[in-house]
Amino acid sequence: MPLLAIGPAPLELNALVAELGEQDGAAGAIVTFLGLVRRHNVGRRVRYLEYEAFEPLALKAFARIAGEMQERWPGARLALHHRVGRLETGEASVAIAVATAHRGEAYAGCRYAIERVKQIAPIWKREFFDGGDVWIEGATADPEDARARAEAERVACA
Amino acid sequence: MRVTVRLFARLRDIAGATELTREIAAGATIRSVWQQLAGEYPELGPYERSISSAVNADYARMDQVLREGDEVAFLPPVSGGDDDQRRTR
């Protein structure tokens, strides 16, 4: 598995940590994040979600996020896998691992990565709940939007 | 000249197709393709201000001029990752 990936396979956080390959002692910290499908959403009982992506562009968006992290936290390394297809409640939709020299940057970088995924990765989810279904529509994706990027950085470093 | 149009998520549901082919004039922009589609499928209209676009799997601005054989993608607001605060439709 590459560091950056998108596909239907279940996510394995340990696999991401292994892919970072930080066994040589260069990194002092790895922070990981797993995003899960919640059973309740705005009062609705969620049955399952369907994730869809424009996969080649999603991979480029992930690479862009890795590049932005390099600029902000030089030396930071990112592993990010996103799942697509039908996901049951309790399953993981996204897994992130960030390795840095010190823990503060790893925590910040990990938060930054998920915020940017939500802003610029061409991925959509459709929620199937008791009584219907709905496309969830969040942010207009614009990788050049400096304000969105600054907001992700602000949240990451709060 | 001819371009391929790809639609995702709710845009695809509205048009009832993942992929379309359209004839466009030389010098046509992404926006003009969008306007053509919005004319065919009025439910797309409200997305004018919130969509993103891509050409050949790279993000592109709506005023980009298209070339023969380009693949244009229209993307509704994205919602990857985990939970979301905002939601519509």
pLDDT tens-digit readout, A91-133: 999 999 999 999 999 999 999 999 999 999 999 999 999 999 9
What average pLDDT does chain B have? 93
Does residue B88 have a pLDDT over 80? no
Please name the residue ranges forming H helices in A21-102: 55-72
Chain B: which residues have CB within 8 Å of chain A? 6, 8-10, 13, 50-52, 54, 57-59, 73, 75-84, 86-89
What pLDDT score does B81 carry?
Answer: 83
Mean predicted confidence (pLDDT) in A36-62: 95
pLDDT tens digits for range A31-46 = 999 999 999 988 899 9
Write down the residue that tokens 């201000």 correspond to. B49
Average pLDDT of chain A is 95
What pTM value is reported for the model? 0.95
How many Cα atoms are found within 13 Å in the side-chain-facing hemisphere of B66? 28
State the Cα–Cα distance between residues B1 and B28, nearest whole angstrom.
10
Q: Is the pLDDT of residue B89 over 70?
A: no
Nearest to A137 by CA among B76, B14, B40: B76
The pLDDT of residue B85 is: 57
Q: Cα B22–B3–B65 angle (5° rounding)?
A: 115
Whether A139 and B89 lie within 8 Å, measured CB to CB: no
The answer to whether A135 contacts B58, with C-beta atoms less than 8 Å apart, is no
Minimal Cα–Cα distance from B7 to chain A, Å? 9
Q: Name the residue facing A35 among B59, B75, B82 (closest C-beta).
A: B82
- Say if the Cβ atoms of B50 and A121 lie within 8 Å: no
pLDDT over 70 (residue B86): no
Q: A138 vs B79: CB contact, 8 Å cut-off?
A: yes
Q: Which domains does chain A have, with CATH numbers?
A: 4-151 (3.90.1170.40)
A115 three-class SS = helix
Q: CATH number for the B2-75 domain, one of 3.90.1150.10, 3.40.109.10, 3.40.50.1370, 3.10.20.30? A: 3.10.20.30
Q: How confident is the model at residue B82 (pLDDT cuts 50, 70, 90)?
A: confident
> How does DSSP assign A100-114, residue by residue?
ESSHHHHHHHHHHHH
Beta bridge partner(s), residue A31: A98
Quick: pLDDT tens for B31-59: 999 999 999 999 999 999 999 999 999 99
- The answer for B40, left when phi > 0, alpha when psi is -120 to 50, beta otherwise, is alpha
CA–CA dist A60, B86 (Å, integer): 25
Q: What is the pLDDT, as a whole number, of residue B83?
A: 74
